[in-house]
Structure 1
Amino acid sequence: MPSKKRPPGDNIHKLGQKRHQSALLRYALALAILVGTVLLFVTNSTSYLRLLLLLAGFTSSYYLYCSGRHLTKRAGDAQRGAKAEKEVAALLRPLQRQGWQIEYNLPIKRWGDADLVLHSPKGNWYVIDVKSHGGTKVYENGHLRKRYGKDTYDFEEGDLIGKVKGQAQEVKSLKSARWVTAMLCFTKGDVDIFCNEITGVYIVNTINLLSILLQLEQYKI
């Protein structure tokens, strides 16, 4: 397996650019419709038609503006995700010098792509899903959650553990591996989970990622 088929964060960076371009297009259309509506309102003499045009124009313009704002937020999320993937990739460079092979943004059928797929010199496989959420990650009532102060919140993306488990199964099939260890790596915040493990998935941050990988490798055949 080549060590780098794609640069880290490449897919999500391109996705962020597409979202940003789509947002700009929606802002431009919203402005054009707003200006056109005002001009038609001024030049049209029929009161009923003027009000109808005004309502339709303002509604369309507002909808496009809100859609643009949503895409702008999603573009920012994507850029933060790309930055997080690059940060984790930099942390893993010492492993590459030790003979580990690392593949970035591996396309898989059901789950989009796997952020990082590692193949150790011992022949063991790992898949790492990188996240940039803040807060302290905790396991509460059967769910992975993030804690801020005394309050805990669900992740908007849903079941992160189930997703990375699915990625591990796909990578296992693609690479004909005996087993693929699934990991979630958060570039922000702490992790307050016993042994950093939930139902076979390791929950880590950038501080303990390398040490936990090396510990796991030490006990694997």
Structure 2
Amino acid sequence: MLGILLACGGFVASYYLYQNGRYLMKRSRDAQRGARAEAEIAELLDSLKYKGWEIEHNLPIEKCGDADVVLHSPQDNWYVIDVKSHDGTKVYEGGRLRKRYGRNTYDFQEGDLLRKVKGQAKEVRNLKRVRWVTPILCFTRGDIDIPCNVISGVYVLEGQDLVSNLLLLDR
């Protein structure tokens, strides 16, 4: 009886450790993909430095962890960019930003990305003591199917279009 009990306990412990390992490996892959996306955007934004833009990466902010990118333009405009590397087509559906794969749409596991980047913009505004910070969600993968690429004051852009859109916004 004791042998059966120990075998069952060993099986349960093994299964728990296996599942925990799978979860941690997924988190690790997600972190690596996110870091690559941020590096890709940093490289794209380098061209703005030569035009007088100030760029800060991974600015720590109290309530939101960190802001991936904070920009200050020569026109004295401020922007905060939250970089994401999700696949699928981003759509605004049912009052939420979602991702679509074929005919199915899904919520983002991180929750409300629009609210998150708005919160980052508010915190950066307070930290930098400025009147306004424009929030931007920048996706390095997938497509965006959102009219005008703006939802409730948040710009939702593809990485390849980021610099040209920033220059347009800064006029």
Report the TM-score, using the length of structure 2 for normalisation. Answer: 0.97
What is the aligned partner in structure 2 of residue 194 from structure 1?
Answer: 147
**Could you give the per-residue CA deviations for residues 127-182 of structure 1, whole angstroms, max 9, x where no partner exists?**
00000001111111111111122222111111000000000000001100110000
Higher strand share: 2
Aligned residue among 98, 105, 125 for 2:78: 125
What is the aligned partner in structure 2 of residue 137 from structure 1?
Answer: 90
What is the aligned partner in structure 1 of residue 59 from structure 2?
Answer: 106
One-letter amino acid matched to 1:206:
G
Q: Which runs of 5+ in 1 are unaligned?
A: 1-47
Distance, in Å, in 1 between the alignment partners of 2:163 and 2:132 is: 20
What is the aligned partner in structure 2 of residue 70 from structure 1?
Answer: 23
Q: Does residue 171 of structure 1 match 2:124?
A: yes
Q: CA deviation at 1:73?
A: 0.5
One-letter amino acid matched to 1:184:
L
Report the TM-score, using the length of structure 1 for normalisation. Answer: 0.76
Count of residue correspondences: 171
Aligned alpha-carbon RMSD (Å): 0.8
Higher Rg: 1
Q: Which runs of 5+ in 2 are unaligned?
A: none
Distance, in Å, in 1 between the alignment partners of 2:104 and 2:45 is: 33
Distance, in Å, in 2 between the alignment partners of 1:207 and 1:194 is: 17
One-letter amino acid matched to 1:91:
L
Task: Determine what percentage of the aligned residue pairs are the same residue.
Answer: 64
Distance, in Å, in 2 between the alignment partners of 1:138 and 1:212 is: 19
